Structure 1
Amino acid sequence: MPSLRLARQSLAVCLVACLVLPAAAQTSGSQASAPLPAVIVAPATMEEVGASARFNGRAVAVQKVDLRARVSGFLVEQGFKEGAAVEQGQTLFWIDDGEYAAALAQADASVAAAEASLTLANLEFERQNELLNRKTGTQQNVDRTKAEADKAKAEVDRLKAQRDVAALNLSYTIITAPFAGQIGLANADVGALVGPDTGPLATIVQSNPIYVEFPVPERVLLETEAAVKAAGAGPVAISLTLSDGSVFPNEGRLNFADVEVSESTDTILARAVFDNPDGVLRDGSLVSVTIKGNIGGAELTVPQQAVQRDVTGAYVLTVGDDGTVERKPVTVSRTVQGLAVITEGLTEGEMVITEGVNKARPGAKVDAAPAEAN
C-alpha cells in the first residue's frame, strides 16, 4: 500500500508539471516577441541658414499727398483717369478762375494808379528841393513833399502785395501733381463747389520704390547686425511674403532704423526699401518680412522639434546603428525656419528623434524610421 500511494503522488506531480511548464514557456515567448517603441528620426545636417527672423510689416508709399483746393470755386475740368499714372506738374483739376482773374486785373490797375501818384509826388519833391536850393522855397515845403512821396511809395508797395495775393489765388485754381506717381479716386465731380474745407479731392502716391515698415525686437536687430559684421558680409537682405503666400520677386535693403526703442513692446521701428516697378505692393499692404544677413557658410542643424529642454538645459535623443537611444546635451544658438542651429553636442549625420520622444528612454532600444518614410 505505501508503494501504491507513492506512485499516485508521483503521477500527480508529473501532471502539474505538464500543465505549468507550457504556460511558463508561452509567457516567456510573449515577452520576447514584444515590439520595440516606434520613433521617427532625422539626421543632423549642415545647412546655410544665415541669421534670419520673420516679422509682420506694412507697405508705405515713399511719397503720399492729399490734393486739396486752396481757393473756393466750381470744378470745371478733371485732367486724369482714376488709378492711372501721372507725371510731375500734370494738371489734375481746374477750378473756375473768372473771379480770381478779375481780382488780379483790379489789383494791377490799383498798382498802376498808385505808381502814377508816386511819380507825381517825386516830381513835386524835386521841384520844392530845387526852389530851396535857389533860396526861393522853404524847408517846410520840401519836408511836406518828401513825406507825400514816401507815403505814395508805401501805397505802391501795399498794392503790389495785394496783387501778389491775387496772382497766387489765381494760380491755386489749377491743381497739379507735385510728383510723378499714381492717383486714386476723385472725391469731387466736375461742377461741384470745392474749397479749403471740402477735404481731399484725390490722393497721389509714389510707390516705386516703396517702403516697408516693421517692428524688430532690439535683441534680434543687434544679433543680426553683429553676425553680419563678424562675417564681413554686405547689407542685411530683406525678403517679403505677400498676403496670398507668394514671395515678392525683389529683395530689399534696410535704409532706416528708429533712434528710439518702444518702451511698451521693446521693439525698434525698421524700414526697408524695395523696387516696385509693377506696382504689386500698394500703400498699406500687409506683408510678412524676413530679414537675413548675407552670411556665408553652412551650420549644423536639426529639426526644431527634436530639441527638448529640462532644468539642465537643451538636449536631443539620438539613435545609434543598433537602435539604442542616447541622450546628448546640446547648445542651440537660434532657430531658423523650423531648424535649430546646433553649435555644440552633435556631429553631422547623427540621427535624432523628432517624433515619439516620449516613448524613448536612454539606454533602451527603439524601432527608428527615417522622417522621409513618414
Structure 2
Amino acid sequence: MSKIINLFIFSFLLLSCNTEETATQSSPPKVQVVSLDQQEVTLEKDFVGQVYGYNDIPIRTRVAGVLEKIAFQEGSYVNKGDLLYEVDPDLLLESLNAAKSDLARSQVNQDKAISDLNRIKPLAEINAVSQRDLDAAIAAKKSADEMVKAAQAKLSLAQIRLDYASIEAPVDGIIGKSMAGVGEFVGKNPNPVVLNTVSTIDSLRVEFFVTENDYLDWQNRDLSKDDKTIKVPLKLVLSNGEVFPHKGKINFINREVDNVTGTILVQALFPNPDRLVRPGQFARVRAAVQSIPDALLIPQRCINEVQGNYFAMRVDKESKVEQVPIQLGQDYRDYFIVQDGLSPGDKVIIAGLQRAKSGSKVQAESVEFTSQYKED
C-alpha cells in the first residue's frame, strides 16, 4: 500500500515540474528596445597632419670660421635680437682694417687730384697750360672720386661681414639643439652651415593632405548657403587622443593636386597660447564635412551583420519580432545613420538579441540609449 502511495506522490511531483517548465518555456523572452528618432548631425572626418611652428627659421652662419661662443640655453625661449652665436672675428677684423686703409689711400689720392685740378684750371683759362693738361686733371679728379666710392663700398662690405660674426635671433620663439659646439669650424661644407632653428609656436601651422573628392566636396559645400559646416572650425586631435582645446581654420590650399598621390596640400592655423604643441608632432585634423538636418540614427549595438548585409530586429505593436534588412550610411559617434529599411519611431532591440527570433513574441522594455561618446 505504501508503495502505491509513494508512486502516486512521485507522479504528481513530476507532472507539476513539467507543467512549470512548459509555462516557463511558453513565456515570451524579455528584451530591451529603443525608439528611433531623427536628429540634426554634423559629420566629421579626420586627416593626418604634421605640425610646424608659425615660423620655423633656420639659423645660418653667413661667414666661415671657428665658433667662439654659444650665448643661449638650448630649448629656451629667445627674443628677437638676442645674441645666439659668435664666430671668430679676427680674419674679418683684418679685412675691415684693410678696407679702412684702402679708403684712406683713396681719399689722399682724391685730395691730390682736387689740388691738381684747382691749380691747373686757372692756368688753362689764361692759356698758360694746354687743354690736354686740363682734361687730364679733370679725368684724374673723377677717377679719384670713384676710387673713394669703391673703397667706401668695400669698407661697408667688410663691416657687414664682421657683423655676421655675431648671429642674433631673427624672431621671438623656442630655439632647438645646436648643431655645432664651441671650437668647431662652421660655415663651410662639410661643416655645419645651419646651426639651429628658432620656432614661433604661439600659433601653429598644421599641414595635411585631402583627396580630390574631399576637396571637391568642400568646394561644393562652400558654394552652398544652407550648409552649416562652413562656419564650423577645425579641431586638432593629439597623439594621445585628446582634442586640443583651441580651434583652427584653413588659411592655405595648394595650387595643384599631386598627380602621383591624387591629393592636395591644405594648411591650417591653430592658436597655441600655452605652447603645449610643438613642431614635428603628428596630429589629426578633424573637419566637419557634411550637415544632415534629419538623420535617422540607430545605436551600433542594434546592428547584426551577415556576410556584408546588415539587419536590425524590429518589434511591432503586437510585440512580434521582425528581422529587417537595412542600408546604413556613415557612422556617427556610436550610431549609424539609417538610409533605408527603418522609420522614425520604430522600436529595435538593443539588449537580448540572442533571445529574440524573427516571428516570435517578446516582452519589450523601452529604454533610453546613452551614448558613450565624449563631446570635444
Q: 2:43 aligns with which of 39, 43, 51?
A: 51
Q: Is the 8 A contact 1:74 1:193 kept in 2?
A: yes
CA distance in 2, matches of 1:371, 1:339: 14
- Does residue 218 (structure 1) correspond to residue 215 (structure 2)? The answer is no
Alpha-carbon separation, structure 1, partners of 2:46 and 2:292: 19
Counterpart CA distance in 1 for 2:203 and 2:304 is: 45
2:226 to 218, 223, 231: 231
* Letter matched to residue 153 of structure 2: A
Secondary structure of 2:231's counterpart equals: coil
Deviation digits for residues 231-260 of structure 1, max 9, x if unmatched?
A: 354534211221122221111112222222
Which residue of structure 1 aligns with residue 144 of structure 2?
152
Distance 1:329 1:192, change over 3 A: closer
1:205 and 2:199 aligned: yes
Matches within 5 A, 1:294-373: 299-303=295-299, 318-321=314-317, 322-325=319-322, 327=324, 332=329, 334-342=330-338, 346-352=342-348
How far residue 291 of structure 1 moved from its aligned partner, in angstroms, is 0.7
Show the counterpart of 1:187: 179
Aligned equivalent of 1:12: none
Amino acid at match of 1:244: N
- Aligned residue in 1 for 2:245: 249
The aligned runs of 1:87-106 (5 Å cut-off) are 87-106=79-98
Whole-Å Cα distance in 1 between the matches of residues 95 and 51 of structure 2?
A: 45
Change (3 A) 1:130 1:40: farther
- The amino acid across from 1:146 in the alignment is I
1:271 to 1:171, Cα distance in 2 relative to 1, 3 A: same
Matched, 1:138 2:130: yes
Classify the secondary structure of the residue corresponding to 1:149.
helix
Which deviates further from its counterpart, 236-245 or 342-351?
Answer: 342-351
Amino acid at match of 1:89: G
Instruction: Give the Å deviation of 1:59.
Output: 0.8
Unaligned runs of 5+ in 2: 1-17, 371-376
Change (3 A) 1:50 1:222: farther
> What is the Cα deviation at residue 367 of structure 1?
7.9
Aligned AA (2:336): A
Q: How many residues align?
A: 345
Matched with 1:178 is 170
Structure 1 residues 352, 263: CA separation in 2 closer, same or farther (over 3 Å shift)?
farther
Distance 1:64 1:308, change over 3 A: same
Which amino acid in the other structure matches residue 231 of structure 1?
D
What is the TM-score normalised by the length of structure 1?
A: 0.77
Between 1:337-346 and 1:178-187, the stretch displaced more is 337-346
Aligned with 2:146: secondary structure?
Answer: helix
Deviates more, 1:257-266 or 1:167-176: 257-266
Partners of 1:298 and 1:62 lie apart in 2 by 40
Q: CA deviation at 1:363?
A: 5.2
Question: Taking every aligned residue pair, what percent have the same amino acid on both sides?
Answer: 27
Q: Deviations over 1:74-100 (max 9, x none)?
A: 333222111111111111112232332
Q: Distance in 1 between matches of 2:323 and 2:118?
A: 114
Deviation at 1:172, TM superposition (A): 0.6
Q: Matched residues in 1 for 2:247 and 2:220: separation?
A: 21
1:112 and 2:109 are equivalent in the alignment: no
Match of 1:76 in 2: 68
Structure 1: which 5+ runs fail to align? 1-25
SS at match of 1:237: coil
Contact 2:321 2:361 in 1 (8 A): yes
3-state secondary structure, aligned to 1:170: helix
Q: What CA deviation, in whole Å up to 9, does each residue of 1:3-44 have, x standing for no partner?
A: xxxxxxxxxxxxxxxxxxxxxxx9xx99x9589899886543
Q: SS at 1:207's partner residue?
A: strand
What TM-score do you get using the length of structure 2 for normalisation?
Answer: 0.76
Match of 1:163 in 2: 155
Which aligned pairs between 1:117-132 and structure 2 lie closer than 5 A? Answer: 117-132=109-124
What is the CA-CA distance between 1:296 and the residue it aligns to? 8.7
1:50 deviates by 0.7
Secondary structure of 2:48's partner?
A: strand
Matched, 1:277 2:269: no
CA contact (8 A) 1:236 1:293 kept: no
Change (3 A) 1:128 1:269: same
Structure 1 residue identity aligned to 2:185:
L
**Cα RMSD, aligned residues only:** 3.8
Letter in 1 for 2:103: V
Contact map agreement 1:75 1:191 (CA 8 A) in 2? yes
Corresponding residue number in structure 1 for 2:6:
none
For the pair shown, the structure with the greater C-alpha radius of gyration is 1
**1:40/1:255 Cα in 2 relative to 1: closer, same or farther (>3 Å)?**
farther
